[in-house]
Amino acid sequence: MTIRVYNTVKRKKEEFIPVSGNKVGIYACGPTVYDYFHIGNARIFIVFDVIRRYLRWRGYDVTFVQNFTDIDDKMIKRANELGITVPELADRYIRAYFEDVEALGVEPADVHPKATEHITEMIELIQALTEKGMAYDVDGDVYFHTPAFKAYGELTNQPLDELISGARVDVDERKKHPLDFVLWKKQKPGEPAWDSPWGKGRPGWHIECSVMSTKYLGDTLDIHAGGPDLIFPHHENEKAQSEGATGKQFAKYWMHAGYLNINQEKMSKSLGNFMTVRDIRQKIAPEVVRFFMLSAHYRNPINYSADLLQQAQSGLERLNNVVYNLRDVLDKLPEEDGVSNDAAERLAALDAFRDRFIEVMDDDFNTADGLAVLFDIARETNTYLKNANPSRTVVAKTLAFFEDVGSVLGFFAPKEDDALDARVNEMIEKRQAARKAKDWATADAIRDELQEMGIILEDTPQGIRWRKK
């Protein structure tokens, strides 16, 4: 069984075969660091974090590159508003990016290149395009000439003239073709600028990604990923620049996630209907946001609402509970193996679940189905844990299974907090004493107090258990 991936450029699922053996290079367009990112952006980060983890888990040697756009119109405008320099602005929001993304369980990329650190390479690429007659200079601005690239429109699935007819923007008279786009922008007074053969200026948006992707991953990327609103013009333009310059295929697979909607409408900065991860983190565990994103297929649009997040939270709690219970039971189990007579059956079932997980994830990363597999194991595990004498091997292997699959989806990592543990244990002892004396009022008061501390206490047939909310 091989992995199948939906390729935007082909508009269908294809077998995933990397360009070069076991190595997989993934480039994902990163944020423009002029503000906190919103939960629509977060979906992209989470989705491609899981895809990257999964490919690695399946044995591929993955290099994941995600850039920061740290120079463009929005950066300059925002820096001016805040009265700081563009690099200061970038620094502030790059730091915020890493904080928010860590909370969401997204691993840092292998390389996080910044646009401003690759100006030289961008100039070289623009020069190469100019020499090939695919780009032209008009008074310090350099444009890419779209008709010079025959396959222009392939990714968008639209011929050039159709793209023009729908255009909503006034055409710049200096351009040879309405869809020609800027590679190098002439400096305006007060703007940051770099020297170039065309005078002082700064790079256009699309050229950045062409340079930063191929610099770290080679001329042909295995996967180029990004948000769906980047397909046109950003990715179409990147493709034209890169393939125009190298004559080679730029990306073997183009992957795009679905939108995150709010009130049935795309969440976006320009519509102003966005919520940042920064804000939402105060109210809801970022882990729940992650679970919510993964509970639908990555290419389908999902609608965001407080109610849906609540549903996600309940679902995730169920899974977290079973993992918690496994750890708790394992702690208390004697070293020698229990005598559960269906141990062999349980271990075989675990293997079957693992196969199922791989099967659904191999099919274009179906995390919704992957989670369904976990819910099935959860039910069977909960039943098994009611066993008076569970096998230590079964419990340990089941826990290992959850942690292993969790390492792909980004859940179930153990958390340590010893100081709190001591305090909680003390309170539990007091409560047990009260219960023994049938002093239910005191017992319940202690339980309420723990609840305030974010600790949920349960009296199960197997004994007292507590967990952090």
Partner RNA sequence: GGCGACAUAGCCAAGUGGUAAGGCAGAGGACUGCAAAUCCUUUAUUCCCCGGUUCAAAUCCGGGUGUCGCCUCCA
Q: Which is nearer to RNA, 98 or 375 (CB)?
A: 375
**375 binds RNA, rule: CB under 7 A:** yes
**456 binds RNA, rule: CB under 7 A:** yes
Q: Which is nearer to RNA, 112 or 297 (CB)?
A: 297
**264 binds RNA, rule: CB under 7 A:** yes
Min dist. Cβ of residue 31 to RNA (A):
5
Q: Which is nearer to RNA, 131 or 449 (CB)?
A: 449
Q: Which is nearer to RNA, 20 or 310 (CB)?
A: 310
**354 binds RNA, rule: CB under 7 A:** no
Exposed, middle or buried, 354 (CB in 10 Å: 0-12/13-18/19+)? middle
Q: How far does CA 436 lie from the centroid of its chain?
A: 50
Distance CA 431, CA 425 (A): 10
**371 binds RNA, rule: CB under 7 A:** yes
CB 176 within 8 A of CB 143: yes
Distance CA 410, CA 160 (A): 42
Q: Which of 150, 379, 430, 469 binds RNA (CB under 7 A)?
A: 379
Shortest CA distance to 142 belongs to which of 202, 58, 221, 79? 202
**44 binds RNA, rule: CB under 7 A:** yes
Residues in 233-262 at the binding interface with RNA, rule: CB under 7 A: 233-234, 257-261
**1 binds RNA, rule: CB under 7 A:** no
Q: Which of 80, 246, 276, 303 binds RNA (CB under 7 A)?
A: 303
Q: Which of 18, 26, 27, 41 binds RNA (CB under 7 A)?
A: 41
**2 binds RNA, rule: CB under 7 A:** no
Q: Which of 17-25, 35-43, 344-352, 410-418 is the region at the interface with RNA (rule: CB under 7 A)?
A: 35-43
List, in order, residues 6 or more apart from 308 with CB less than 8 Å away. 292
Residues 197-236, mask of contacts with RNA (x by CB under 7 A)? --------x--------------------xxxxxxxxx--
Maximum Cα–Cα distance for the chain, whole Å?
Answer: 90
Residues in 283-302 at the binding interface with RNA, rule: CB under 7 A: 295-297, 300-302
Per the listing, tokens 């691993």 go with 107
Beta-sheet strand order (sheet of 141-144): 135-138, 141-144, 181-186, 201-203
Question: N- to C-terminal Cα distance for the chain?
Answer: 39
Size of the site for RNA (CB under 7 A): 88
Q: Which is nearer to RNA, 375 or 413 (CB)?
A: 375
CB 424 within 8 A of CB 439: no
CB 65 within 8 A of CB 109: yes
Beta-sheet pairing, 251-256 with 221-226? parallel
